[in-house]
Structure 1
Amino acid sequence: MWNWNLAAVALGLHALVEGTILQNGQVRDTNFPNTKVDITDYDFETYPADAPELSYKGRWDSMKVSWWAAPGLVFGFTGDRVAITFGELTTNRTLIGYRIAGMDWIFTNVTAGATHLVVTPDTPGVHDGYPVNPLRFEFRVSNWGYGVQIDKVHVGKGERLVKIPNYSRSIEFIGDSLTAGMWQSYEALSSFAHGVGAGLGDTEYSVVAYPGICVADQPCWGNPRGQVHQWFYTSDTGGRASEIWGDEPEPWDFSKPDTEPDIVVINLGTNDANEANNVSSKAYVDGYKKLIQGVHGKYPKAQVIVMQLWIGFYRYGNTFVQEKAFDQELRDVVEYFNSPGYLSAPKIWDGVTETLATLNTPSEPFVHYFSTQGILQHNDIPPMSWHPTDTGALKVASHLTQFIKLTFGWELVATGPEIYHETLYWNDEPNY
């Protein structure tokens, strides 16, 4: 059964904040560029954080503070310089990945109150082989526990920002540490959720996931509430949210234009299944049903994918076997939502008001079951971490992407841009 403690989480956070990535116990040479600059040395055109040209991806609050996993910012720009001033609510030395269009990710640590020059004439994609103006800029926050605040965005004197239209497809992930990418090399940007969202190509994606959280609404590994409640809010359940929002977090505005996803993927239950959290089968099923009812109420046109849980492997005789949890419960949940009884009178849950209402409008089947059986093997999960390796996350992403293609007919249109950073390994020694 999966078990980790908050001390281990804190150690993982510390390693990332110092810009260190451990690879099988060895320090990976990262060479993150230092992008911090003195803004008085430059002549910029400056835009405020609420400029209409800026497209915020994932969940950001009204103060333009980022939350959950892999939140990002996308905009177009002219010229060959871009700088971002980060607000005081930025977690110091948060690691972000950024790039021009489909070029490889570049990583840098950003600082509260500082300006970072992220695009220069030497940035890949600005001039070499991509002579298109305006250019598309994107950045994503790598860590699920940290966040940034956007204060201002700058471009070169006489240049401008340009609004980039949203892609026509959208997918949202709801989960815990397995979805947030905990203990993968670049965390959220090495997660299976990022692999699916970015790997589909021309698809908007959002990752509402946080380590240790249950679906049931109870304390789990330091999280005071479960996803059946917290998914309805902008911020996550971490200490940073308590410091900024106190006991009155900001409800997520589901009425925002272009925020309704076509597909919602739910991967929750590894924390509920841990004996330390003492979640009963009944409480788990109740929380899971209410979460899907909430998703259906807020996103009535969305298709929902329920992922079978994987919790690691155990030795069985002379082999290894995938450990499961709540397996029949998840199948029963899927059957419940596709039953004539539910479809004739859908029940809608609101996690803010904590009310359950019955709609008179009939529904269509919209819940699907994704089996993870056979995707991972025991060596895809490192000793004692209970989270997949980078390769394991990539395998889950690949299978889930194909499931989406076969189930919904989504074409795979990402034909070249880098998805996972620093996974290019090869052997060029033929004589061994």
Structure 2
Amino acid sequence: MRFTSICSLILTCVCCVSATIFQNSQERITNYPNTVIDTVGYQFQKYSPDAPELSYKGRWDSKHLSWWSAPGLKFGFTGKQVAITFGLLTTDKTLIAYRIDGQDWQLTNVTTGATHLLVSPSTPGIDLTGPISPSTFEMRVTNWAYGVQIDSVYVTKGDKLIELPNFGRSIEIIGDSLSSGYSATLEGVSSYAYGLAAGLGDTEYSITAYPGICAFDKVCWGNRRGMFYQWWYTSDVSPRASEIYGDKPERWNFSKNAAPDIVVVNLGTNDANAANNVTSEGYVAQYTMLVQGVHAVWPKAQIILISLWNGFDAVGNTYAQGSAWKSEIYSIYEYFNSPSYLENPVLYDPVKNVTYNANEPSSPFVHYFNTTGIMQHNDIGPKWHPTDVGNIKLASHLIQYIKMKFNWILYSTGPEVYHQTLYWNDQDTY
């Protein structure tokens, strides 16, 4: 990507919240329903935010506040009403996507401190039964810079929430704006990272990605820390994280979510920009230690390193894909697959900030995914990031790569993944 002015762009985006979505420089007509209600007159059964029936997806802190890209909440329920009160630390007008069962996503803007009725007798599909049972509610925060706080959850009095088992496999994506959905139509839920995870079907996922962040631990585009540091913490590098936690973010408890079977890492585009002054040696060193840390936390996880496409340039009478850190990323892949490393693996301890020997052999666990040829120059938008189509193309190729490489079955058999990305011509005479 070309990040010439992304610093000012990112800072502008996070200074205020707008409910407006632009596509091709035109305002999209959204007409999202106002779901705010006054609970007076409703007969509700109330659940606290730490109720065991509630399953938080992605990274949420001890205040039940969401972080990073596309964090979610999921639970089963009986009856025909579900309402959520969003706490005072909720970013006002944050756009959330929510649905029941296998129905299409619905969208609404959240009001700080208000209660939203998200499921009612008029909700599409509420009277349908099977094959999903019990009825399931799922919510995802669309924007990478905003967050919601869960204060309480309600169902109709006499009905109940139901704890749902986790899916049997899990994936984690670690990245920057390319993975978080920056400039995609619905941001987090339009990203390739979300499309990959949700497109696999029946797969738990967490997207630890934030725009402008470097792999190297330094200030990049206003972000105070790099992923080498921030991945170990619950909150991201957003201004609201600084407002809430200052210099003392909560450590992430990796036992909160199931250990992923696959970890996808897509980092380095911001490091590659000359404005951030990251050296090749520094990039390779900290990227390598981050992978060593991931392996220490999740020793059974398979780790995929994604090559950077870094935009497209006009070359003579055609276009050509750029590259960044091409030899560096491949050298990291080679290092982890070298006999010397596999015979005596090195791990990373972030608390002591030291590497140490595992003292036992390891099977190969690092893989390389080459993005060359997947996207073309018109798959990159004016803000240097993949268009919705570009994100879908990358997600589709990664899904097939994982299917073939790790023999993963594709379980997604119908429910919508991407919302409002339907492109068609319904005119047969023109």
TM bin (shorter chain): over 0.9
Distance 1:132 1:359, change over 3 A: closer
How far apart are the structure 1 equivalents of 2:389 and 2:334? 32
SS across alignment from 1:64 = coil
Q: How does 1:25-174 map to 2 (within 5 A)?
A: 25-128=25-128, 130=130, 134-174=134-174
Distance 1:231 1:324, change over 3 A: same
Check conservation: 2:10, 2:212, Cα contact below 8 A. Answer: no
Shift of 1:11: 4.2
Query: In the alignment, residue 111 of structure 1 is paired with which amino acid?
Result: T
SS across alignment from 1:255 = helix
SS across alignment from 1:108 = strand
How far apart are the structure 2 equivalents of 1:133 and 1:197? 22
Check conservation: 2:6, 2:212, Cα contact below 8 A. Answer: no
How far apart are the structure 1 equivalents of 2:161 and 2:326? 49
Shift of 1:129: 5.6
How far apart are the structure 1 equivalents of 2:422 and 2:358? 51
Q: Structure 1, residues 255-281: CA drift from partner, whole Å, max 9, x if none?
A: 33x521000000000000001001000
Aligned to 2:243: 243
Shift of 1:430: 2.4
Shift of 1:181: 0.2
Q: Structure 1, residues 309-354: CA drift from partner, whole Å, max 9, x if none?
A: 0111001010000000000111100010011111122211133432
Q: Structure 1, residues 361-417: CA drift from partner, whole Å, max 9, x if none?
A: 22110000000000000001123x110000000000000100000100001110111
How far apart are the structure 1 equivalents of 2:398 and 2:119? 34
Query: In the alignment, residue 310 of structure 1 is paired with which amino acid?
Result: W
1:404 to 396, 402, 405: 402
Shift of 1:131: 8.1
Query: In the alignment, residue 206 of structure 1 is paired with which amino acid?
Result: S
Distance 1:133 1:44, change over 3 A: farther
Q: How does 1:323-362 map to 2 (within 5 A)?
A: 323-362=322-361
SS across alignment from 1:315 = strand
How far apart are the structure 2 equivalents of 1:68 and 1:271? 17
Check conservation: 1:35, 1:108, Cα contact below 8 A. Answer: yes
Give the gaps of 5 or more residues in structure 2. Answer: none
Q: Structure 1, residues 217-250: CA drift from partner, whole Å, max 9, x if none?
A: 1111111111111101000111111111111111
Q: Structure 1, residues 268-305: CA drift from partner, whole Å, max 9, x if none?
A: 00000001001000011011101100100000000000
How far apart are the structure 2 equivalents of 1:131 and 1:175? 35
SS across alignment from 2:112 = coil
Shift of 1:12: 3.9
How far apart are the structure 1 equivalents of 2:273 and 2:60? 31
Aligned to 1:175: 175
SS across alignment from 1:155 = strand
Query: In the alignment, residue 255 of structure 1 is paired with which amino acid?
Result: S
Aligned to 1:273: 272
Query: In the alignment, residue 322 of structure 2 is paired with which amino acid?
Result: E
Aligned to 1:294: 293
Shift of 1:14: 6.8
SS across alignment from 2:372 = coil
Q: Structure 1, residues 100-135: CA drift from partner, whole Å, max 9, x if none?
A: 111111011112211100000111221146586531
Check conservation: 2:14, 2:239, Cα contact below 8 A. Answer: no
Aligned to 1:419: 417
SS across alignment from 1:360 = coil
How far apart are the structure 1 equivalents of 2:282 and 2:192? 27
How far apart are the structure 2 equivalents of 1:320 and 1:179? 24
How far apart are the structure 2 equivalents of 1:233 and 1:13? 20
Aligned to 1:189: 189
Distance 1:204 1:38, change over 3 A: same
Q: Scaled by the length of structure 1, what TM-score is found?
A: 0.97
Query: In the alignment, residue 355 of structure 2 is paired with which amino acid?
Result: L
Aligned to 1:378: 377
Check conservation: 2:347, 2:356, Cα contact below 8 A. Answer: yes
Check conservation: 2:95, 2:142, Cα contact below 8 A. Answer: yes
SS across alignment from 2:5 = coil
Check conservation: 1:2, 1:312, Cα contact below 8 A. Answer: no
How far apart are the structure 1 equivalents of 2:210 and 2:395? 18
Check conservation: 2:214, 2:267, Cα contact below 8 A. Answer: yes
Check conservation: 1:174, 1:209, Cα contact below 8 A. Answer: yes
Aligned to 2:259: 260
How far apart are the structure 1 equivalents of 2:397 and 2:132? 34
Aligned to 1:8: 9
Check conservation: 1:175, 1:208, Cα contact below 8 A. Answer: yes
How far apart are the structure 1 equivalents of 2:182 and 2:105? 19
SS across alignment from 1:179 = helix
Shift of 1:31: 1.3
Check conservation: 1:251, 1:352, Cα contact below 8 A. Answer: no
How far apart are the structure 2 equivalents of 1:277 and 1:254? 30
Q: Scaled by the length of structure 2, what TM-score is found?
A: 0.97
Q: Over aligned residues, Cα RMSD in angstroms? A: 1.4
How far apart are the structure 2 equivalents of 1:87 and 1:331? 45
Q: What's the % identity of the aligned pairs?
A: 58
How far apart are the structure 1 equivalents of 2:368 and 2:354? 26
Query: In the alignment, residue 32 of structure 1 is paired with which amino acid?
Result: Y
How far apart are the structure 2 equivalents of 1:86 and 1:9? 25
Q: How does 1:207-218 map to 2 (within 5 A)?
A: 207-218=207-218
Check conservation: 1:308, 1:369, Cα contact below 8 A. Answer: yes
Query: In the alignment, residue 7 of structure 1 is paired with which amino acid?
Result: S
